Structure 1
Amino acid sequence: MKFSYQTGFFICIILVVLLIFKDIYKYSFQFTLEKNARGSDANLDISEDLFYSLIYRNSSLNSTMMDKVISRLFTSPHSTLSSMNETDIENILDQNVNITNSNKNWTISFLVSKIRRHQQFVRKCVSKNFTLVTAYWDLGTFRKGSAGLFSTSLYKNLALSFRYMLNPFVIYTDSLEFKNLMETIRKNLSFCTKIIYMNRTNIGAFKLVDKIKKIYEQPNYPKYYPNTVNPAYAAAQNAKYNVMAETYRHGLFNTTYYGWIDVGYFRDLVDAKDFYVMVVPPDFDPTRLAFNRVNPHVETTDPLTVFRDNMVWVGEGMVIGKGNVIEEYERFYQRAVDFFLDLKLMNTDQQVIYSVYTKKGRQSLKPEIEIQPYLPKPPGNAWFYLGFLCRKVIKIP
């Protein structure tokens, strides 16, 4: 069998490509950084492992191929390499890549240009009118319903879902460990992130822990873990209205809308690597607060039954409202909590809100702000419908 010159050349090209990908595959799964120079103690993305595998083996790839591979890995929206500056890139190339000065200079210039364009695009995608607020208060390890034990390590893992959220983001915490983690997670989005490290006893809701404790110690008061067992947990749920209102009052990002989101709200997306932005849901009434409806609301239910039977109307994992409405609701909500405490009743904010909008609750408290419950549509978990309705994936070029 005779081969033409063109056929032979084509076969050689195929063999070279196969050898290159064989080496990439071989080395890409053997290198894991325990702690990189930028301060993260988490394992790097596989794209970063591949990058370091290439440069540490003193690659024999030609400079054009090397430039393309490095470029793709540096500018990947899934890679923290995109946060590196010109000096970082030059140091890595000097120490690990055997290329000429001219090629190195071209590579640095090209990568810096690509990285800056990527960063500029990300900044443009950040929401201008919707700030998200969350909090992690270190309550130790506690039992939660039938879901098992919840600990700091679990919440740290759940928080990874916020790495690619393109919204102004305010995090309150009394845990130095959690604060440091969030600084790492949001490093590339630090320009739209505020982390407030504070003593939780300075928040109004936590000043009521002793009162809540006495209610939970009543004989035959029903036990729902942790709602009616851990007074600090109930206070933490009530505190969300305090921190949302504080965020608005201090004008940390000065947006029109503010929303609470639980640390574990996107628990099914901790491994997702898409940038996303949270938007105000469709048909939202700016005079109300948006919640996710979980169960029907029976207006004739007695508040005593709501608290003692652990009844739920709307989920508390996400709350959305205009800044001034949230501030007004915080004052009303505190009045409602005091009212139910005087009746020797307490649970979480879910039971407070259900009870407020019963016939008896309306007669006693006269709420001026109404709830806008979003009815879940299948498929998906009904508890998280509102958040996924607001979540829009952004494709970064």
Structure 2
Amino acid sequence: MAKRLPYKTGFFVCIVLVLLLMFKIYKDGDRFELQKIVGGSEVYLYNNEDLFHRLIRGNSSLNSTILDKVISRLFISPQSTFSSISTTDIKKFLDQKNVIISVLVPKISEQRRRHQKLIRNSVSKNFTLVTAYWDLGTFRKGSAGMFSTSLYKKWAIAFRYMLNPLVIYTDSLEFRNHMETIRENLSFCTKIVYMNRTNIGAFQRVGKIKEIYEQPNYPKHYPNTVNPAYAAAQNAKYNVMAETYRHGLFNTTYYGWIDVGYFRDLVNAKDFYVMVVPPDFDPTRLAFNRMNSYVETSDPIKVFRDNMYWVGGGMVIGEGKVIDEFERFYQRAVDFFLDLKVMNSDQQVIYSIYTKKGRQALKPEIEIQPYLPKPPGNAWFYLGFLCRNVIKII
């Protein structure tokens, strides 16, 4: 008959077994599975330094296909924490891990060249995006709270994987440096214009806007009718879009304005994406995101004072020649409304232009193509997500 263990000894053995089991679960949880059928078996690799020992040493049983896959995961793909380190740093890093550098580093360099070529070939050849950040300090925006440089810098991270020519205008050295870092791997299709904003026509009207906002009983809508520089910044988007086209910075057919914070919900996404012209786009018009019903009989003065809007200004798309023509017209419209002692953001300018009274006074020759948002998602950002196509770079 089997001898029974004393109670204390049995309890101690149970504790040891539980601890061993917990340790095994912990270690198993610390590895990832690379599913690649080689000779009918799956290969399991640890995500710590043991990974390098298993892969690179001369006795590794992994073939070159699996090695390429692991290199891509560790050093090339956007999801990798090592993807941005230099070849020199990789050599130092791997030397510390005692792996065969002569095997791995050339592989990494080769894969990076291939990866960069794929990225270049995936960049849009016909659609340039334009954005801007003008340092207005920290300001209140409606009920959304306070907006600051740090917030815009956080939102701008979403531009890291945009595979379109991108032109950024700014008067902030801090933001310029931030964007240089974000677009470092896409510098060949990025242009940052660091400038004094007073050189832009819209900002030369700040004094007139300020006088209007200081009128007794002029409605306060934060920041649209409170901060003259904010209103000028919204009008300036048409200046910089047209300047980008006129200077032929990337010489594409289509150009689009996109707010720095447009893809604020994607700052943690690590997918490459390319922006394309929306379906059924009429190249004789400008595409906007429709936010409210259009009422032709609305009074332009009321539109400005009551903060009414028809389309959103977060994204604007048009053919280069159309944007050029529209910008010249738009600035005349702004001056027309300034003479009427009203101003607000570009959303109110656009709405007022296309009212019955606005058409009679200004005679616009370029029409708007409003895209009606469809669920799900935030209606304000519908047009941008309609244009956004995820690209797999392998």
Q: Normalising by structure 1, what TM-score?
A: 0.83
After superposition, residues 1-397 of structure 1 pair within 5 angstroms as: 22=27, 25=30, 54=49, 63=57, 64=60, 69-79=70-80, 81-84=82-85, 86-94=87-95, 96-99=96-99, 103-397=100-394
CA contact (8 A) 1:24 1:54 kept: no
Q: How far 1:382 moved relative to its partner?
A: 1.2
Aligned equivalents of 1:24, 1:300: Cα separation in 2: 65
Aligned equivalents of 1:62, 1:193: Cα separation in 2: 37
Q: How far 1:108 moved relative to its partner?
A: 1.4
Q: Deviations over 1:161-182 (max 9, x none)?
A: 1111000000001111111111
Q: How far 1:54 moved relative to its partner?
A: 2.5
Aligned length in residues: 352
Aligned equivalents of 1:264, 1:395: Cα separation in 2: 24
Aligned equivalents of 1:112, 1:386: Cα separation in 2: 38
CA contact (8 A) 1:290 1:319 kept: yes
Give the residue type in structure 1 aligned to 2:265.
D
Give the residue type in structure 1 aligned to 2:49.
L
> Identity percentage over the alignment?
76
Q: Deviations over 1:101-126 (max 9, x none)?
A: xx321211211111111111111110
Q: How far 1:91 moved relative to its partner?
A: 3.6
Q: How far 1:25 moved relative to its partner?
A: 3.1
- CA, structure 1 residues 371+179, in 2 after alignment: closer, same or farther (shift >3 Å)? same
Q: How far 1:139 moved relative to its partner?
A: 0.3
Q: Deviations over 1:316-372 (max 9, x none)?
A: 000000111101111000000000000001000000000000000000000000000
Q: Unaligned stretches of 5+ in structure 1? A: 1-14, 27-49
Q: How far 1:282 moved relative to its partner?
A: 0.5
CA contact (8 A) 1:77 1:396 kept: no
Give the residue type in structure 2 aligned to 1:160.
I
- CA, structure 1 residues 261+71, in 2 after alignment: closer, same or farther (shift >3 Å)? closer
Single out whichever of 355-364 and 374-383 deviates more from structure 2.
374-383
Partner of 1:10: none
Q: How far 1:77 moved relative to its partner?
A: 3.0
- CA, structure 1 residues 264+71, in 2 after alignment: closer, same or farther (shift >3 Å)? closer
Give the residue type in structure 1 aligned to 2:125.
K
Give the residue type in structure 2 aligned to 1:342.
D
Q: How far 1:22 moved relative to its partner?
A: 2.5
Of structures 1 and 2, the larger Rg is shown by: 2
CA contact (8 A) 1:301 1:358 kept: yes
Give the residue type in structure 1 aligned to 2:73.
R
CA contact (8 A) 1:145 1:226 kept: yes
CA contact (8 A) 1:127 1:278 kept: yes
Single out whichever of 57-66 and 75-84 deviates more from structure 2.
57-66
Q: Unaligned stretches of 5+ in structure 2? A: 1-19, 32-45
Q: How far 1:288 moved relative to its partner?
A: 0.6
Aligned equivalents of 1:260, 1:294: Cα separation in 2: 17
CA contact (8 A) 1:80 1:188 kept: no
Single out whichever of 103-112 and 140-149 deviates more from structure 2.
103-112
CA contact (8 A) 1:277 1:391 kept: yes
- Specify the SS of the correspondent of 1:226: coil
Aligned equivalents of 1:371, 1:362: Cα separation in 2: 13
- CA, structure 1 residues 193+369, in 2 after alignment: closer, same or farther (shift >3 Å)? same
Give the residue type in structure 2 aligned to 1:25.
D
Aligned equivalents of 1:186, 1:236: Cα separation in 2: 23
Partner of 2:6: none
Q: How far 1:249 moved relative to its partner?
A: 0.7
Q: How far 1:78 moved relative to its partner?
A: 2.7
Aligned equivalents of 1:114, 1:20: Cα separation in 2: 34
Q: How far 1:257 moved relative to its partner?
A: 0.3
Aligned equivalents of 2:93, 2:294: Cα separation in 1: 60
- CA, structure 1 residues 159+23, in 2 after alignment: closer, same or farther (shift >3 Å)? same
- Specify the SS of the correspondent of 1:163: helix
CA contact (8 A) 2:74 2:81 kept: no
CA contact (8 A) 1:257 1:322 kept: yes
- Specify the SS of the correspondent of 1:244: helix
- CA, structure 1 residues 314+71, in 2 after alignment: closer, same or farther (shift >3 Å)? closer
